[in-house]
A and B are shown apart, each in its own frame.
Chain A
Amino acid sequence: MTPPDPTWRVVTSSVRGRSHALHDRPNQDAFGAIQTAAGDLPVIAAVADGHGDALYFRSGVGAELAVSAALEALQQVVASGSRAPDARIARAVVGAWRRKVSAHMASVPFKEDEIRRALAQTRGPPADFSDDPFLAYGSTVVAAILTAPWSYYFQVGDGDILVVDPSGRTSRQFPPAEDYDGDATLSLCLPNAELGAQTRWLDHTACPTPEMILLCTDGYAKSFKSEADFLQLGPDYVALFQRLGVEGVAQELPRYLSYATENGSGDDITVAIVTRDPAKAPASASASASASGVNETEVRSRASGRAPGRASPRDGLDT
């Protein structure tokens, strides 16, 4: 039976892929989350995967900006208090990303040797970065909002969202992309990227509030032998949270992900898990009332290990 006023926690982690380590390339995933009031809803979480090929020579930054843009745009969705058209949300996320990329380029202009190195290592016809500078920042983004009455799921490019319902059933929010295979993906850097966004609203009066939401970059799913093996993550993580507690899972998560990249895809792997805390008592009414306005705990962290801002370990946020 679901306890009243359950406490909600977010656990995140990211590991560099075995292949990237072999080639001395950095982890180019990013992750972040926003939680209004410790333990409470709404929660917004996002992960992103920079493309990593020589052509996308700032895709690590692109991934970080993708997380930032998704959190910013989805925070507006929550603040509006009403359901916005999916197309408008998609334009908001992509538009925010492009603005952030433009600002980054303005403050850190491309250097000649950056472009020269990229073109020297790139297959195919040379890219014209003066025409299409966003290419260098290419990234995917996967995000979710969980509120009490509804949840929302958003994705551009590859990556996965698993939802576990109160009965323990695990499902994908979006099917794997059929048109792209191997490592090809849609990307925020492509023209009209918003048209390729996948979106879904879930009304919790029509279906149960999820027990757990797991966002991950594509390196995790690609580590498993089959779809069923990947979906097994749902019940396994629920069991782990019950057995080890949120802090225990947060501590073990890097080891789980490292095992996956070593024995599976070899890719960077990043996860953000939104879960009911099976151990914490419900937050008391007096604690909530004492907060002056919204007390937002915001963590935006890049997997490279740069220190997050305003992280609160109490909320189980992990870097």
Chain B
Amino acid sequence: MGSTGFPGGAMARRPLHFIWIVDCSRSMMGKKIQSLNAAIQQAIPEMRTAARSNPGVEVLVRAVAFSSGARWHIAEPTPLEDLDWPEVNADGHTDMGRALQLVAEALHALPGHGLPPVLVLVTDGQPTDNFKEGLDALRAEKWGEKAVRVSIAIGDDADRNVLRKFIGNAAVEPLDAFSSGALVELIRWVSTVVLGQAAGDLKLPEKTLAPPPATSMETADDDVWRAS
């Protein structure tokens, strides 16, 4: 008997790894990066609420920021109760492929069984490095292939074909954010609904996401990211 006095060894909730992959390139400067920072920070309390619906699951959050190269913005898998979002700044290119390689390396280290991770890619542009190499590295990993992969396309210039390849599911389209209000709403949806579904007990093999919220372009914000 272990130190708990109950049969069996150490117990633990099931980990669910949630990884933000965020574009910090030059074109994100200004209102886009401000909105992204605010949206993720605001979503944290709602993520905690969503996670409480599945008390047998421990959500662990990390983040990769990419511009010229890619780096871990939150490197350690962080429990939601400890999570804070340090703001990211924008400048440089859009090395999305390198970001996916970093994520692939992290997923390689995960144990063999568990809940599939959730990967959320947020970008307003096109990759400036070898995206295919990064995506291939990601999908060559068991957990990269099995991950719930979601993407948010900010504005008109985001390469939606690239994002569809990242998602890898013909039934799921990139989410479109053409305003700061829409970005906030989509970040909240990904953080809560997608997280809740990934943590939930859907038994048969096909995990299908609930439809995302409709985001209207008609907002009171003066920051509409769409060509007129």
Contact = CB atoms under 8 A, between A and B. Distances in A.
Interface in A209-253: 222-226, 228-230, 232-233, 236-237, 239-240
A259 interface: yes
Contact of A123 (B9, B55, B197): B197
Interface stretch (B92-100, B121-129, B199-207, B215-223): B199-207
A225 B9 CA distance: 8
Interface string B1-40: 1101011111111100000000000000000000000000
Contact of B8 (A56, A125, A181, A229): A229
A51 B8 CA distance: 25
A266 B203 contact: no
A18 B210 CA distance: 24
Contacts of B204: 51, 55, 138, 184-185, 187, 190
B72 to A, nearest CB: 24
B205 A184 contact: yes
B59 to A, nearest CB: 13
Contact of B205 (A176, A180, A259): A180
A187 B65 CA distance: 41
B212 interface: no
A294 to B, nearest CB: 34
B133 to A, nearest CB: 26
A19 B56 contact: yes
Given A181-B113, A185-B203, A266 B57 contact: yes
Output the residue of B13, B56, B202 with the most chain A CB within 10 A: B56
A181 B4 contact: no
B202 A183 contact: yes
A56 B203 CA distance: 9
B14 to A, nearest CB: 6
A32 interface: no
Contact of B208 (A123, A229, A260): A123
For the complex of A and B, 6 pairs with smallest distance between CB atoms = A266-B56, A229-B9, A124-B208, A51-B203, A236-B7, A225-B12
6 contacts: A19-B54, A123-B209, A181-B114, A223-B56, A229-B10, A260-B8
